[in-house]
Amino acid sequence: MSLQKMLEYQKTDLVYYRQEKELRESEERKRAVLCKNKFIECNNSLQELSKALSGYFAAMQKLAAKITETEEMKEQLSAEAEFKTEDDFIQYENQLQEYEKIVNELSKEFTKVTKSIADAAAQNRAINDKMDALNREYMNSTQAFNKKKTEFETKTQAIRATLDNLAKDIEPNYLKQYMELRKNKKMPAFVPYMDKNCGACGMDIFIEVDKKLQNPGDIAECPHCGRIVYKK
Ligand SMILES: [Zn+2]
């Protein structure tokens, strides 16, 4: 008797379930989800970029310190220079040239890092613009989806009331198992035992369930798909 109620409930619920599925798979929802995913993607790129920028800044600070250090060494060299012989002078000149070479190299590096920072900043702006656009699109698509959802709720009000009424007469344990299967999108959840086979997945379940399915209305769980199999 209670199984009969359960099956009645399922029959009505299948109509509601299809409508729910339609809403879930609607263009409006797909668009909103797509926007959201793209937004998350952008956000990740932004974080990557931020990490790269921190690295560039650290490199720049190091370089700046090195340049200062090298220049200080050069000044010290000039201050302490003594030219007793021509060789002293030549040696001094050589050292000076060496320092200039190092400073030039460092300056070049510095320019390179500065350019990387500028590039990253431009990229950052581009991503931010893209995120602004995505955010607007997300708002629009969400609005469209919410409208559709409200329509759905109005449209399904009667069927939901019917289901609530039917649910009152069903054994709680049946309903609980049904809802669990429904949540996992295993619909229909209650299926007939058909000639040794599960009425949903079609597997031969004779060995596992036949003993439990002796009288009409008996139920058992299909060991393959997890649905509830009942004896007609
Ligand atoms: Zn099955």
Of 139, 151, 138, 137, the residue nearest 23 (C-alpha)? 151
Q: What is the pTM of this model?
A: 0.68
DSSP-assigned beta bridge partners for residue 221: 228
Q: What is the pLDDT of residues 16-70, one digit of tens each?
A: 999 999 999 999 999 999 999 999 999 999 999 999 999 999 998 998 898 888 8
The SS3 call for residue 60 is helix
Distance (Å) from CA 22 to ligand 1 centroid: 25
Sheet with 219-221, edge to edge strand ranges: 197-198, 190-194, 228-230, 219-221
Distance (Å) from CA 97 to ligand 1 centroid: 85
Distance (Å) from CA 195 to ligand 1 centroid: 13
What lies within 8 Å, CB to CB, of 201 at 6+ separation is: 222, 224, 225, 227
Mean pLDDT on 63-80? 84
Distance (Å) from CA 178 to ligand 1 centroid: 14
Q: Are 38 and 134 in contact (CB under 8 A)?
A: yes
DSSP structural state of residue 18: H
Q: Which residues lie near ion ligand 1 (Cβ < 5 Å)?
A: 198, 200-201, 222, 224-225
Distance (Å) from CA 203 to ligand 1 centroid: 6
Distance (Å) from CA 198 to ligand 1 centroid: 5
